[in-house]
Amino acid sequence: MIGGTDVIIPTTLAPAEALDICVRSIVEFWPGAVIEDAESGQFYRSYRAVPFNHVNELFVYRDQTACESWEELGADESNRDTMVHLLYTRQLTVVVDDPAAPEISGMFDAIRGYLQDDIRRFPTREAA
């Protein structure tokens, strides 16, 4: 990240459920998102392809262009706010460049809302 900011989001959900909700929330804002398992380097071209029970850390890129730019340039200023880093070890951590950026702030609001709201209101994975 370009001077990334770690944001801890409290949740009692299991890691797989919390990461699933985070990715679905982000994909609402970035429908062309590319998802990468940060540990293995495996790329997923869709939300449905992610094996949430087997991952603890993900990179979610805005789109294929952002993904390629991050692969080429890394944490370059031109990549600001085009990737979200999700990590769940003992707690859910979301890392972004600027949590106050309008689009990123909207993602945080959505993630927090879905994590804190009645989880049954979020469509099931099969329905999404």
> What CA–CA distance (Å, rounded) separates 26 from 46?
12
pLDDT for residue 124 = 47
pLDDT for residue 112 = 87
> What CA–CA distance (Å, rounded) separates 61 from 84?
7
pLDDT for residue 12 = 86
> What CA–CA distance (Å, rounded) separates 41 from 35?
10
Say what the pTM is: 0.86
pLDDT for residue 89 = 87
> What CA–CA distance (Å, rounded) separates 13 from 21?
10
Q: Please, what is the Cα angle at 2 between 80 and 51, to 5 degrees?
A: 80
Per-residue confidence in pLDDT tens, the chain, 128 aa: 456 789 888 888 899 999 999 999 999 999 999 999 999 999 998 899 999 999 999 999 999 999 999 999 998 999 999 999 999 988 999 999 888 898 899 998 888 888 876 454 555 444 44
CB 128 within 8 A of CB 47: yes
Please name the residue ranges forming H helices in the chain. Answer: 15-29, 64-73, 102-116
pLDDT for residue 128 = 46
